[in-house]
Chain A
């Protein structure tokens, strides 16, 4: 197990598809991409977290975590990846290893029985088994258990080697891609294929965003063969190798998968985004162009341009009413990867000012794009909470756009905050999603609550307020106990 993991780690770090990696010298590359963590000053999830994020949106399979209770118990059912059908993926299954299991080495047996139980109970098309720290350390061979269970039951069992200590969340995404490539994609032939079959990689259908994208593709006659992995069915993933083009979202989270699919099945890929109007249009254009190169009808490009023109006009018309509220408002964008630039252009277009955008999880390509679209690109890395708070409290920005973990830094500075990461409750993809984002921004910024809560209490501004009874026994200012 340790050996497997180590060679896998080395392999994943040497990513020919990654520009950043290829720019390094041979020696630097050997060290790998993971910066060592600083104890006492680290934040963010582990590799198990990352693998789970990337695979959990597969809705019809059982996800089984092999480990003690914390890994699954503290994390299950906490994302808004939506489903259009089965909800098996929302169950939280774990082998819940006890002290005795660990001491006696019962882990593998327990895992095998848990897989069998899950198959008997839910009859899923596959079981995804996640490795965690403790069983990895004591040497539970989940690949062997999965192989054995698959043989005995006839149901594919997919081992995901995601021990938490092996790396960060981002590395876990890659381990998930690896599991899909090694054990899932290419194992079933699709019922039929079309010249316009595409896959999207790294889209997790957060609050249903794929349903803001799919209708656009359908209008163009493009078939989404497999969305990897939002609202995905196992069968679709298994047949994803027959797509003509791969679109890679969420920056480079699944770049290893895209590159390997190109190598094995000759599927070209491109990186694109469905956040923001200009980027949605660009993504559709690239998709159409690449599909035509691979044999789709020539008129696809024309129809794409027509759709883009119509959708853009409709989107801008719907955004217009908000322009007045949003013009000149200053934004801090604290997210990562693709959203660090794809939302920027949309916000600038309606007259908002980007005070800062964070690039801590962005690739070199992301940064290039930011430089292209921003006049005065103020890129920041990881910002300590204290500085972020100061910026907001000192009125250097009007609103913070970030993920849930930084939420209260904004709110406690009594500034509006909008969730643009995975815990959010609104879908912001495509043309409709951009309109929804603008509407949410306007709703947040124009809420009268900000003025009310920033107003000092009466006794903080006026010395005129004197307690009615000024005698020594006065209880003024003390609430009734």
Chain B
């Protein structure tokens, strides 16, 4: 449906995308007892950490191999080794996830080889699960880094082979980077309603849901446990959320034979129905009353809100999965997607976005196109605030980062309940903008006077003008 446009430019003004290593680090943070390690200069970690802390409003571990000038010239393998040893002795993590950066990848380092020889030399490191994902900043964006990290975790830590155990009633959920803690809780609750036990990888609903521990911990607390990851092969089925999780789902299926389904959208009625029907098929259990009730609440919300969304012109800028999911949702309520901007061209979903065109670009593309298309609402992450200010438009915050709103992790937009709440949030934005009418509002709509053009013979068609 949509045409993919990639304007030829010499750079980016007001970047839309966050980089791939940051996406990888976020995925690693969804594992219990984890420390993400960036292989690069210390600024790579510092910027990512600051941004993530502002988004989650949580303390979190992220470390660096601290590549300086000498290592840039001579190679970073020694720093990687030292970092791993230091991390283990200082923090004693159960899991270290390594993400490479542009600096180290431009050097062309053989990180897989380095890691192998480090593990052979340093036997003490065997106590800690260590995985590595190649995520240079100059390729892809947040989604790509997240997906590569999850795939690396699966490849490295899942016990391979056919081990399905029906009695456990376990399913595997692979959420995408656009899922919040509340989203994951929703999916888990829905699975439990069918008597299924969900193993979620990565599980930010455990590690970054904003809880207060009784004691200090330098590593993540909560998140997917290593034993759970190892035993993902015991599941009945795997559900991946978001197109970008396809490689991870394929990797898991390839290793264990557990059949997987990729759901590219969970927002809205049709999408939620698809998930519920799938859960019912997997579990062999009829849809419970509680879910039917939630469905009916969403239907009612759609009835109430469609007045305010119908005909609205919406501009969206986000990572591919989020653009697709939100576009389809808004479209289903009668709104029009007048501008769609995304971060990378890697996703096959982009051509299915219900808009004329999808632009791979930045927030300046977004701002200019939204202005030209006379959009009514800007939908993007917090960095869109400058555009919203300049255009004088309301700004709905979605995606990453959201640093100027509270409770980001406890806001869901998927499943029946999440879609319902999200829909009310959008509806309320439009409702709050409706003002009492004054005569001036109708000035432009004034009906032109009706006159007969004199030069024409009476009896011919009357021209209005």
A164 engages B42 (CB within 8 Å)? yes
Evaluate whether A94 and B12 lie within 8 angstroms (CB atoms) in the complex, with A39-B83, A134-B106, A386-B218 already known: yes
- Considering only residues 53-72 of chain B, those with a C-beta below 8 Å from chain A are 53-54, 57-59, 63-69, 71-72
- Please encode chain A, from 391 to 422, with 1 for each CB lying within 8 Å of some chain B CB and 0 for all others: 00100000000001101110011100000000
- Considering only residues 14-49 of chain B, those with a C-beta below 8 Å from chain A are 14-15, 17-19, 21-22, 37, 40-49
A42 engages B17 (CB within 8 Å)? no
Q: State A113–B10 Cα separation when bound (angstroms).
A: 6
Stretch at the interface among B133-141, B277-285, B334-342, B351-359: B133-141
A229 interfacial by beta-carbon distance below 8 Å: no
A412 engages B59 (CB within 8 Å)? yes
- A480: nearest residue on chain B (CB-CB)? B290
B193 interfacial by beta-carbon distance below 8 Å: yes
A70 engages B86 (CB within 8 Å)? no
A46 interfacial by beta-carbon distance below 8 Å: yes
- Considering only residues 212-263 of chain B, those with a C-beta below 8 Å from chain A are 212-213, 216, 218
Evaluate whether A71 and B103 lie within 8 angstroms (CB atoms) in the complex, with A133-B41, A385-B59 already known: no
Q: State A385–B45 Cα separation when bound (angstroms).
A: 17
Which residues of chain B are within 8 angstroms of A91 by Cβ–Cβ distance?
Answer: 13-14, 386
Partner of B69, one of A134, A166, A393: A166
- Considering only residues 274-301 of chain A, those with a C-beta below 8 Å from chain B are none
Q: State A38–B89 Cα separation when bound (angstroms).
A: 13
Q: State A474–B316 Cα separation when bound (angstroms).
A: 49
Would you give the shortest CB distance from B118 to chain A, in whole angstroms?
12
B459 interfacial by beta-carbon distance below 8 Å: no
A429 interfacial by beta-carbon distance below 8 Å: no
| Chain A residues with a Cβ closer than 8 Å to the other chain, count | 73
B136 engages A164 (CB within 8 Å)? no
A7 interfacial by beta-carbon distance below 8 Å: no
- B385: nearest residue on chain A (CB-CB)? A77
Stretch at the interface among A95-103, A148-156, A265-273: A95-103
B103 engages A133 (CB within 8 Å)? yes
- B80: nearest residue on chain A (CB-CB)? A39
Q: State A48–B18 Cα separation when bound (angstroms).
A: 18
A64 interfacial by beta-carbon distance below 8 Å: yes
Q: State A416–B381 Cα separation when bound (angstroms).
A: 29
Which residues of chain B are within 8 angstroms of A78 by Cβ–Cβ distance?
Answer: 50-51, 54, 403
A390 interfacial by beta-carbon distance below 8 Å: yes
Would you give the shortest CB distance from A325 to chain B, in whole angstroms?
25
Partner of B11, one of A37, A70, A96, A137: A96
Which residues of chain A are within 8 angstroms of B19 by Cβ–Cβ distance?
Answer: 68-70, 73-74
B85 engages A45 (CB within 8 Å)? no
B383 interfacial by beta-carbon distance below 8 Å: yes
Q: State A254–B50 Cα separation when bound (angstroms).
A: 24
B47 engages A134 (CB within 8 Å)? no
B409 interfacial by beta-carbon distance below 8 Å: no
- Please encode chain A, from 78 to 98, with 1 for each CB lying within 8 Å of some chain B CB and 0 for all others: 100000000100111111111
Evaluate whether A99 and B22 lie within 8 angstroms (CB atoms) in the complex, with A91-B13, A137-B72 already known: no
- Please encode chain A, from 15 to 44, with 1 for each CB lying within 8 Å of some chain B CB and 0 for all others: 000000000000000000000111111111
- A387: nearest residue on chain B (CB-CB)? B216
B83 engages A98 (CB within 8 Å)? no
Query: Most B CB atoms within 10 A — which of A49, A133, A409, A412?
Result: A133
Which residues of chain B are within 8 angstroms of A95 by Cβ–Cβ distance?
Answer: 10-12
Would you give the shortest CB distance from A99 to chain B, in whole angstroms?
5
Partner of B68, one of A36, A41, A90, A138: A36
- Considering only residues 75-90 of chain B, those with a C-beta below 8 Å from chain A are 79-80, 82-87, 90
A404 engages B53 (CB within 8 Å)? yes
- Considering only residues 87-133 of chain B, those with a C-beta below 8 Å from chain A are 87, 90, 101-103, 106-107
- B212: nearest residue on chain A (CB-CB)? A412
A110 engages B10 (CB within 8 Å)? yes
A75 interfacial by beta-carbon distance below 8 Å: yes
A75 engages B51 (CB within 8 Å)? yes
Which residues of chain B are within 8 angstroms of A48 by Cβ–Cβ distance?
Answer: 43
Query: Most B CB atoms within 10 A — which of A41, A73, A114, A413?
Result: A73
A76 engages B383 (CB within 8 Å)? yes
Would you give the shortest CB distance from A172 to chain B, in whole angstroms?
9
Evaluate whether A75 and B101 lie within 8 angstroms (CB atoms) in the complex, with A102-B106, A117-B10, A165-B67 already known: no
Q: State A99–B137 Cα separation when bound (angstroms).
A: 9
- Considering only residues 96-125 of chain A, those with a C-beta below 8 Å from chain B are 96-99, 101-102, 110, 113-114, 117, 121
Which residues of chain A are within 8 angstroms of B46 by Cβ–Cβ distance?
Answer: 43-46, 49
A128 interfacial by beta-carbon distance below 8 Å: no
Q: State A369–B213 Cα separation when bound (angstroms).
A: 38
B83 engages A138 (CB within 8 Å)? no
Query: Most A CB atoms within 10 A — which of B57, B102, B218?
Result: B102
Query: Most B CB atoms within 10 A — which of A47, A48, A166, A408?
Result: A408
Evaluate whether A68 and B79 lie within 8 angstroms (CB atoms) in the complex, with A74-B22, A74-B51, A137-B107 already known: no
B162 interfacial by beta-carbon distance below 8 Å: no
Q: State A74–B101 Cα separation when bound (angstroms).
A: 13
Would you give the shortest CB distance from B244 to chain A, in whole angstroms?
17
Would you give the shortest CB distance from A125 to chain B, in whole angstroms?
18
A339 interfacial by beta-carbon distance below 8 Å: no
B11 engages A134 (CB within 8 Å)? no
Q: State A41–B35 Cα separation when bound (angstroms).
A: 12
Partner of A44, one of B14, B15, B42: B42
Query: Most A CB atoms within 10 A — which of B9, B43, B65?
Result: B43
Query: Most B CB atoms within 10 A — which of A5, A385, A409?
Result: A385
- A106: nearest residue on chain B (CB-CB)? B10
B386 engages A77 (CB within 8 Å)? yes
Which residues of chain A are within 8 angstroms of B53 by Cβ–Cβ distance?
Answer: 404-405, 407-408
- B103: nearest residue on chain A (CB-CB)? A133
A37 engages B106 (CB within 8 Å)? no
Partner of B193, one of A36, A46, A90, A481: A481
A64 engages B106 (CB within 8 Å)? no
Query: Most B CB atoms within 10 A — which of A70, A72, A117, A166?
Result: A70
Evaluate whether A94 and B11 lie within 8 angstroms (CB atoms) in the complex, with A36-B68, A40-B85, A40-B90 already known: yes
- Please encode chain A, from 371 to 383, with 1 for each CB lying within 8 Å of some chain B CB and 0 for all others: 0000000000000
Partner of A481, one of B69, B84, B192: B192
Would you give the shortest CB distance from A112 to chain B, in whole angstroms?
8
- A133: nearest residue on chain B (CB-CB)? B103
Which residues of chain B are within 8 angstroms of A75 by Cβ–Cβ distance?
Answer: 47, 50-51
Would you give the shortest CB distance from B420 to chain A, in whole angstroms?
18
Evaluate whether A134 and B13 lie within 8 angstroms (CB atoms) in the complex, with A39-B64, A42-B64 already known: no
Q: State A98–B15 Cα separation when bound (angstroms).
A: 14
A412 engages B213 (CB within 8 Å)? yes
Q: State A64–B137 Cα separation when bound (angstroms).
A: 18
Which residues of chain B are within 8 angstroms of A137 by Cβ–Cβ distance?
Answer: 72, 103, 106-107
B18 engages A74 (CB within 8 Å)? yes
- A168: nearest residue on chain B (CB-CB)? B42
Q: State A75–B42 Cα separation when bound (angstroms).
A: 14
Q: State A165–B79 Cα separation when bound (angstroms).
A: 13
Which residues of chain B are within 8 angstroms of A39 by Cβ–Cβ distance?
Answer: 64-66, 79-80, 82-83, 86
Which residues of chain A are within 8 angstroms of B192 by Cβ–Cβ distance?
Answer: 481
A97 engages B138 (CB within 8 Å)? yes
Extra contacts, 8 of them, besides A45-B47, A414-B212 (Cβ < 8 A), are A37-B66, A39-B64, A39-B79, A39-B86, A40-B85, A110-B11, A408-B59, A412-B216
- Which residues of A are interface residues toward B (Cβ below 8 A)? 5, 9, 36-49, 64, 67-78, 87, 90-99, 101-102, 110, 113-114, 117, 121, 133-134, 137-138, 163-168, 385-386, 389-390, 393, 404-405, 407-409, 412-414, 423, 453, 481
A-B contacts, 7 listed (Cβ < 8 Å) = A47-B43, A102-B106, A113-B11, A133-B40, A165-B69, A393-B216, A453-B212
Q: List 5 A-B pairs, minimum CB-CB distance, nearest first.
A: A46-B43, A40-B86, A40-B83, A408-B59, A39-B83
